[in-house]
Amino acid sequence: MAATGALGATMNYAERIARAQAEMARQGIDWLLIAPSSDLVYLMGYPAHTSERLTALATPQSGNEPFIVVPRLEAPRLAERQDLLEILDLRIWDETENPIALLAKGLGDPQGKTIAVSDQMWSGFLLKLIDALPGARFVNADLVLKGLRQIKAEDEIACMREAGRLTDEAWEEFVATTTLAGKTENEAGQILAGLMARRGLGAPAFMIVASGPGSASPHYLTSDKVIREGEAIVFDFGGNIAGYKSDITRTVHVSEPSEEFRKVYAIVDEARARTFAAIRPGLPCEEVDTVARKVITDAGYGEYFIHRVGHGLGLDVHEEPYMVGGNRAPLRPGMVFSDEPGIYLPGRFGIRIEDTVLCTETGGELLNNARRDLVVMR
């Protein structure tokens, strides 16, 4: 019933599917259809790739066991997953067969049924399914999975703690051993990626190295630009443990920074610290953002903080819950999200400091603890 992930962490997929079924029963949803996506990884630990060949997990509210429709050439990957074969039925389709017909047949009489479909199922498949299932009502699978995925279980939290800790270690080694002036952004990113891979974090889930004026662009595209003296550099990166992501940002300066840079750095770090201190169950997500925004606005830089203060993190780098104005949902124990205020001065420099945090029963727990003082590199 259980698969062993990193750390000997035990992912109990049968339990996750059972929890999804309980939620389907609560909402009157008859079937849950999941295409290759992080939702599929969540429910069965299967990182299938999206392609023109249909793969779909179909879970009934109760009764028959779940089944997965898979193309013949990818079936060997599942045949070795004994834990899954105990809890779901493999329905393999051959190259000349119609997988939509196979899936529709498995769902039975569609009349009056409510079918939740993952938002990452290609519209090409969904349009054919709608035709093949007259009388059914289609809704978004987020209704079922969003609530489950945003509250991390102990096995998930263990992976995320480990991912955060190892990412911190990689960063500490990077700043202690690397010189930046004269390297390209890509070269700096590759060195950091190597330090992560060596610790078992895999290939980076993402890697932003934004230097000079580029540091003022929060989702900057890392390039072959050469890093020079006098520049700020934002490093925003993450790896993963058993699919669970880490996400950290640190901003460094090559050679002595200006007084203004030091001042703005202190404001951003203050916003980060106050945001973390405010975390507790019951606090509306939007108020997490408000705390950071108030610090930065009071310091006179409000118009330069151009994004929400945080996003949920887990199997996806950005997922629910979002710490953004308008989101009144309360924080709950088990939520993992980023605390990442920033100030971006166009054409000059940007500063962002980001930690991943966990909401516990009593407050916040930092999953990143790498040094946050202003590091001057060479």
Distance CA(1)–CA(295), nearest Å, equals: 49
User: Of 59 and 275, which CB lies nearer to Zn ion in the complex structure?
Assistant: 275
User: Of 141 and 232, which CB lies nearer to Zn ion in the complex structure?
Assistant: 232
**Of the listed pieces 2-10, 209-217, 290-298, 330-338, which binds Zn ion according to CB under 5 A?**
330-338
Site string for Zn ion, 129-148 (x = CB under 5 A): --------------------
Give the contacts of 288 (CB within 8 A, at least 6 positions apart): 275, 278, 279, 309, 310, 323, 331, 339
User: Of 263 and 318, which CB lies nearer to Zn ion in the complex structure?
Assistant: 318
User: Of 38 and 249, which CB lies nearer to Zn ion in the complex structure?
Assistant: 249
62 CB neighbour count, 10 Å cutoff: 10
* Strands 89-93, 67-71: pairing kind: parallel
Q: Is 236 in the site for Zn ion (CB under 5 A)?
A: yes
Q: Is 339 in the site for Zn ion (CB under 5 A)?
A: no
| Angle, vertex CA 64, rays to CA 60 and CA 69, nearest 5 | 70
Q: Is 247 in the site for Zn ion (CB under 5 A)?
A: yes
**Of the listed pieces 111-119, 156-164, 180-188, 337-345, which binds Zn ion according to CB under 5 A?**
337-345
Instruction: Return the amino acid letter for 231.
Output: E
Give the contacts of 147 (CB within 8 A, at least 6 positions apart): 23
- Contact (Cβ atoms closer than 8 angstroms) between residue 318 and residue 300: no
Using alpha carbons, list the distances in angstroms from residue 349 to 66, 110, 251. Answer: 52, 57, 10
**Of the listed pieces 28-36, 37-45, 225-233, 338-346, which binds Zn ion according to CB under 5 A?**
338-346
Q: Is 167 in the site for Zn ion (CB under 5 A)?
A: no
User: Of 247 and 316, which CB lies nearer to Zn ion in the complex structure?
Assistant: 247
Q: From the list 309, 338, 355, 359, which residue makes contact with Zn ion (rule: CB under 5 A)? A: 338
User: Of 218 and 230, which CB lies nearer to Zn ion in the complex structure?
Assistant: 218
Distance CA(101)–CA(97), nearest Å, equals: 9
**Of the listed pieces 116-124, 137-145, 165-173, 234-242, which binds Zn ion according to CB under 5 A?**
234-242
Give the contacts of 174 (CB within 8 A, at least 6 positions apart): 191, 192, 195
339 CB neighbour count, 10 Å cutoff: 26
Tell the smallest beta-carbon distance from residue 292 to Zn ion (Å): 13
Q: Is 316 in the site for Zn ion (CB under 5 A)?
A: no
**Of the listed pieces 1-9, 114-122, 266-274, 351-359, which binds Zn ion according to CB under 5 A?**
351-359
Kindly list the residues in this chain that would bind Zn ion in the complex (CB under 5 A).
236, 247, 249, 338, 354
